[in-house]
Structure 1
Amino acid sequence: MSSTEDPGRDVDGGVLVLAATPIGRVADAPPRLADELASADVVAAEDTRRLKRLTTDLGVTVAGRVVSYFEGNEQQRTPTLLEALLQGQRVLLVTDAGMPSVSDPGYRLVAAAVAAGVHVTAVPGPSAVLTALTVSGLPVDRFCFEGFLPRKAGERSRRLAGLAAEQRTMVFFEAPHRTAATLAAMAEAWGGERPGAVCRELTKTHEEVRRGGLAELAAWAEAGVRGEVTLVVQGAEEVRLVSTDEADLRAAVAEREDQGMSRKDAIVEVARLAGVPKREVYNLVHGA
């Protein structure tokens, strides 16, 4: 199935709405959020107590049925919510802060709804990922979101090693009590001078953005970090592992052939490492 909705399979009336909620100040709530909360047939909330506080702050009365939908019951509750959608109901999904599905519950329900031909839409709004990225001072033209790193040191080190050559700016979520250890592991894996930013309590009263090299940030975090934390780290610099000099390119192909690699594979690898088109290396090797 394509990523776009198939009009022929849409379920009449059934709509899944993913709604962004404030990551800090309630005044940042998108204007449509109040209307959706008041009109939904079902409101699925990560934490019903936090939903109650939000609706009180917004002055909204939820007329529909409220159910909890969090990591512990997401798998079991998805079929029930899907059934409500198939019956033509409007289901609103909200998490504690930010956009559902982004390191929060939601993906399972979205995938099930799409597979069943249910219309899925969103109320755009606050996102810690984009907010941290834009205030970090780091490049924003290309970026990736890596969510939470593994808690165990060995698994975390392997994940960081796999990201060592990532050239896009990277955004991570982290628990405050693990922030110092994570920054230290990043400094070890990628170098202490790699620029980064620790974004804490975004949009809240005690918002803080600390910028610097990873080693410097790790040392700062040793004193303790409080609140919601988003880490932004600059990507790796593009490094050409093979010289683009014509003689060096030919020599690199020949060296790989001597090691048992086929000429075709050697040309492909050398072109990739040198950052040049395969055809250019091919022509040099074959004297074209």
Structure 2
Amino acid sequence: MYGEDKKIILSICIPCYGRVDYVRNTLKSIFIDNADVALDEYEVVISDNDPKQAIKQLAEEFKGYSNLKYYHTSCEGFMNSYYVLTYGNGEFLKLHNSQTLFKKGALRAIIDEIKKYRDSHALIFYTNGLLHKFKSKEYDTFNDFMYHLSYWSSWSNGFNIWKDDFKKLGDIKLNKLFPHTSIFLTQNNAKKYCINDVILFDVQRIPKRGGHNKFEAFTIEYPSLIDDCYKKGNIDERTKKHILKGIMCEFLPSLIFNKYIAKIETFESTGFKKNIKVYFPSYSYYLVLILSVFQPIRLSVRRLLSYIKS
């Protein structure tokens, strides 16, 4: 049974807005596929900012799991990624995308890693094989950590923070599109840093995914956070350039490919040609267009490597 008197190790914090079937699958992957983990070791926290509260029905469907907590909040958009963390009571808060499934054994692996780093309070980030390293690696400095993490520091599903460190944040300015990254970049004085690139999750693909200007998010909003991190002296110029190069040569071409070539996403792109000039070289727009043509090759290699390792 889920005991209130026992300290919860992990809070899986899931911000939600609709997509009931996807969230249901995610909950099944936690409670059923990872049933070997005792309920009193972790909790699942849902923060629903949909006025219709469609997700609330899942609290009834999964009422047999006493460590599932449902909250409704009136915050807008991505700010739910912050508010869901405020509801977590575990030692370790993991932000988790609503459509991302836990592989069998993943929950136990994460909890064991939390126990390993309890004393050092290492800053841990999960990249799920996206770096093609497929293992955990420790870093001594925040700058080195950020260099190897590159633009994936923007990925909400990889974000984690210790509850004690979260409570110390105080009143900080949160970027409206990247509140979790705003928090993450304040954790630059950790004793140790760890990137876990083991494949722990499966992502449910959402057809025609869209809803905001993702091109502006990665030409203006996220680069502004990285630039501010550099100006504060938390990363050096080499790391800043490396992260921006990754956005320009990898991430933005994938957005172009998904929207205009494969037509599997519908993110808004208004102002892209103008916005890319703010933090990137003058030739960036045309380079991104050229590189987008080669995305099928890059994706095929990534899928092959992931398949081999999984």
Same fold, TM exceeding 0.5?
A: no
Give the TM-score normalised by structure 2: 0.28
Greater helix proportion: 2
- What TM-score do the two structures reach when normalised by structure 1? 0.29
